[in-house]
């Protein structure tokens, strides 16, 4: 069965998203996450890195600060404009590209590493999600690695919250969350009330167990797959996040 709630990207990834997430995505947190990515992928200066679904560039720009040659890809023009502005302010060079992650506009074997961070995988139907993985494999050089950071489905099921509320300066963001065990997708509605205006949007994300995602990656062409948490410790049912590093032969 492969039915899902359509992911309304423009209604989710916008000014409201950054307004409510900004207090969480601090510079200190971003620096810590970049250090984790650097260690997990064993990055080095001058490596060609693709930040796949880069958002507003908080990871891509900091990887560029460390000397990587970074390309950031996202479908959201608003986020990319912010990423470019921040890159100028930080004095780094990043190639930002607006495109669909299912159809990467890059030649084969263009990158040493691909980063997909902060639950940026699982937005599409089954065919589309598989296409993201095969495209990531295609643009990697032999020996290149893909890193996916996503939710730990097993822990999420134990701690499921049907409602999540965020508040900032009297403005509200409410997520109404459901999980469809027949499809493996969440079915979510987001209500934002900001400056007296209410907006609604729907989205869904495919959740994976580690064995399932590992199998998908091998079917996409990756030779080896390793699972951990963000600190590189062995992955288990209580890990806060599921981090998968897949290597191409």
Domain at 26, CATH number: 3.40.50.150
Cβ atoms of residues 57 and 82 within 8 Å: yes
Considering the entire predicted model, what is its pTM? 0.97
Residue 108 pLDDT level (bands cut at 50, 70, 90)? very high
Report the 10 Å Cβ neighbour count for 132. Answer: 26
Please check whether residues 66 and 142 belong to one and the same domain: yes
**Quick one: pLDDT at residue 3?**
59
- Say whether both 127 and 69 belong to one domain: yes
How many domains does the chain contain in total? 2
Sorting pLDDT into bands at 50, 70 and 90, what band is 146?
A: very high
Three-class secondary structure of residue 187 per DSSP: strand
- For 2-59, list the strands marked E by DSSP: 48-52
Percentages of the chain per state (helix, strand, coil), in multiples of 5: 30, 35, 35
Same domain, 69 and 139: yes
* Residue at 182 is within a domain: yes
Q: Give the pLDDT band (50/70/90) at residue 7.
A: confident
Phi, psi of 231 (to 5 degrees): -90, 5
* Exposed/middle/buried for residue 206 (C-beta within 10 Å: 0-12, 13-18, 19+): buried
Domain limits for position 218: 9-150+208-248
pLDDT of residue 154: 97
Q: Average pLDDT, whole number, for the chain?
A: 97
Does position 1 have pLDDT exceeding 50, yes or no? no
Same domain, 189 and 226: no
Tens-digit pLDDT profile for residues 80-100: 999 999 999 999 999 999 999
Please compute the mean of the pLDDT values over residues 168-182 and round it to a whole number.
98
Q: Are residues 128 and 225 in the same domain?
A: yes
Tell me phi and psi for residue 70, to 5 degrees.
-110, 140
Is the same domain home to 56 and 121? yes
Same-domain pairing of 146 and 196: no
Interatomic CA distance for residues 222 and 218, integer angstroms: 5
Local confidence band at 141 (pLDDT 50, 70, 90 cut-offs): very high
247's CB contacts (< 8 A; 6+ apart) are 143, 144, 145, 222, 223, 224, 225
The mean per-residue pLDDT over the stretch 45-56 comes to 99
Give the Cα separation of 96 and 82 in Å (integer): 11
pLDDT at 2: 53
Q: How confident is the model at residue 56 (pLDDT cuts 50, 70, 90)?
A: very high
Q: Is residue 4 part of a domain?
A: no
HSE, side-chain direction, 13 A CA sphere, residue 124: 13
| Helix 126-139 × helix 210-219 angle, to 10° | 60
Q: Is residue 56 part of a domain?
A: yes
Sign of the dihedral through C-alpha 69, 55, 97, 152: positive
Task: Please give the average per-residue pLDDT across 226-236, as a whole number.
Answer: 98
Cα gap 95→49, rounded to integer Å: 11
Percent residues over pLDDT 70 in the chain: 99
Q: How many CA atoms lie within 13 A of 70 on its CB side?
A: 31
* 1-5, 72-76, 117-121: least confident range: 1-5
């Amino acid at each position: 069965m492969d039915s899902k709630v359509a992911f309304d990207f423009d209604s989710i990834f916008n000014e409201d998203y950054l307004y409510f997430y900004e207090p969480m995505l601090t510079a200190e947190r971003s620096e810590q996450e970049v250090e984790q990515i650097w260690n997990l992928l064993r990055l080095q200066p001058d490596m060609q890195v693709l930040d796949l679904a880069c958002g507003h560039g908080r990871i891509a720009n900091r990887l560029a600060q460390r000397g990587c040659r970074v390309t950031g890809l996202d479908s959201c023009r608003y986020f990319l404009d912010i990423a470019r502005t921040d890159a100028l302010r930080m004095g780094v060079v990043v190639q930002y590209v607006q495109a669909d992650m299912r159809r990467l506009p890059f030649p084969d074997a263009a990158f040493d590493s691909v980063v997909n961070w902060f639950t940026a995988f699982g937005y599409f139907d089954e065919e589309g999600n598989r296409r993201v993985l095969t495209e990531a494999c295609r643009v990697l050089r032999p020996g290149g690695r893909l890193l996916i950071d996503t939710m730990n489905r097993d822990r999420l099921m134990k701690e499921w919250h049907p409602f999540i509320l965020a508040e900032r300066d009297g403005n509200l963001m409410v997520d109404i969350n459901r999980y469809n065990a027949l499809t493996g997708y969440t079915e979510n509605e987001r209500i934002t009330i900001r400056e007296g205006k209410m907006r609604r949007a729907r989205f869904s994300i495919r959740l994976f167990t580690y064995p399932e995602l590992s199998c998908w990656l091998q079917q996409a062409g990756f030779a080896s797959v390793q699972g951990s948490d963000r600190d590189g410790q062995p992955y288990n049912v209580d890990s806060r996040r599921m981090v998968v590093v897949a290597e191409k032969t």
